[in-house]
């Protein structure tokens, strides 16, 4: 198997077909089709079956895909290792919405100015989704909240804490102080979708107090959450750092959650999957972060 064939195979999977894969790779469709057939002949098995106008992976294709991802990632790493140490090439970074809004704008501008040869691609998602993206080599690294499960990383990831966030609860103005989950007067929790680490922490806090929200209203931005809280639709949880970016509202109140405390944002990557571009970003994140002890060894289990 050559890397070019694996690159084409991966593109066909990611782009859901030959036409878009060919456009993505700047190849003609016939070339993509030929290379896939050659790869199938080399492996002695079909990798795709046609379902109407769709191409669907066969079981053999499903088996090959993670190996292809790993081989291509390893090839990228090898290229970085033998090239000049100056950061260059593509760096795919995943991040939580809150970090992208509150921590990254100035830092990414500085990164682009310092390392113009790096093509930095950014995507947002929940912590759980981002960890999955790193696991599957779909991003090179991600900024996620520390998961509640201390065994989340196993032997697969390396990580370093870069930011420390204080979680606060947002309620409509005039709500009584919150010291206990039973102090919450509204039964609706407004939160991101399942997989958001902050949502997991607050739902765990509810359960520890013997309470469950009657319903969870899932929204996709902190602006929308604050607007719904101000309208009296429920309560929400957010990092305090995000509030400085939102329009001031006299219709909400902010309550500290001392029992939950602060939660570290981690930069994570697959163990051994590193590059000069990622190393430069890590250095900038650590330099601009607010975690007192930022060493990898300080993170339990890593």
CB 208 within 8 A of CB 251: no
Residues 142 and 277 in one domain: yes
Residues 100 and 25 in one domain: no
296 pLDDT band (50/70/90 cuts)? very low
**Residue reference for tokens 């009657």:** 214
Q: Closest Cα to residue 85, out of 268, 273, 267, 279?
A: 279
CATH number, domain at 183? 3.40.190.10
Residues 42 and 61 in one domain: yes
Residues 117 and 155 in one domain: yes
CB 156 within 8 A of CB 182: no
Residues 284 and 160 in one domain: yes
Q: What is the pLDDT of residues 125-164, one digit of tens each?
A: 999 999 999 988 889 999 999 988 877 777 789 999 999 9
Q: Say what the pLDDT of residue 82 is.
A: 61
Residues 284 and 138 in one domain: yes
Two tokens, residue 286: 């650590």
- Residue 197 belongs to what domain range? 165-262
Separation CA 218–CA 199 (nearest Å): 10
Q: What is the pLDDT of residues 70-128, one digit of tens each?
A: 888 888 777 766 665 678 888 999 999 999 999 999 999 999 999 999 999 999 999 99
- The total domain count for the chain is 3
Is pTM beyond 0.85 here? no
Separation CA 182–CA 201 (nearest Å): 16
Residues 127 and 267 in one domain: yes
Two tokens, residue 129: 């989704």
The answer to which of 45-49, 72-76, 168-172, 287-291 has the lowest mean pLDDT is: 72-76
Residues 186 and 258 in one domain: yes
Q: Is 23 exposed, middle or buried (0-12, 13-18, 19+ CB in 10 A)?
A: middle
For 181, 183, 199, 226, the CA distances from 176, given in Å and listed in that order, are 12, 7, 22, 18
């Amino acid at each position: 198997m050559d890397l070019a064939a694996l690159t084409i195979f991966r593109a066909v999977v990611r782009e859901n077909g030959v036409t878009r894969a060919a456009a993505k790779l700047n190849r003609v469709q016939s070339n993509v089709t030929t290379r896939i057939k050659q790869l199938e002949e080399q492996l002695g098995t079909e990798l795709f079956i046609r379902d109407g106008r769709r191409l669907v992976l066969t079981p053999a294709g499903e088996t090959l895909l993670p190996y292809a991802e790993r081989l291509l990632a390893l090839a990228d790493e090898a290229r970085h290792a033998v090239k000049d140490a100056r950061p260059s090439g593509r760096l795919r970074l995943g991040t939580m919405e809150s970090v992208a809004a509150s921590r990254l704008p100035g830092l990414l501008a500085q990164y682009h100015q310092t390392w113009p040869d790096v093509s930095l691609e950014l995507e947002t998602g929940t912590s759980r989704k981002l960890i999955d993206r790193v696991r599957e080599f779909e991003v090179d690294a991600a900024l996620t909240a520390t998961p509640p499960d201390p065994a989340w990383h196993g032997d697969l990831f390396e990580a370093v804490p870069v930011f420390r966030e204080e979680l606060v609860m947002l309620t409509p103005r005039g709500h009584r102080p919150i010291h206990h989950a039973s102090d919450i007067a509204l039964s609706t929790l407004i939160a991101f979708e399942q997989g958001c680490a902050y949502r997991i922490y607050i739902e765990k806090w509810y359960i520890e107090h013997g309470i469950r929200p009657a319903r969870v209203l899932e929204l996709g931005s902190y602006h929308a959450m604050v607007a719904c809280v101000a309208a009296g639709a429920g309560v929400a949880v957010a990092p305090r750092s995000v509030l400085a970016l939102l329009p001031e509202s006299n219709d909400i109140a902010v309550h500290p959650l001392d029992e939950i405390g602060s939660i570290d944002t981690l930069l994570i990557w697959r163990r051994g999957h590193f590059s000069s571009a990622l190393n430069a970003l890590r250095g900038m994140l650590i330099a601009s972060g607010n975690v007192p002890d930022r060493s990898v060894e300080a993170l339990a289990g890593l």
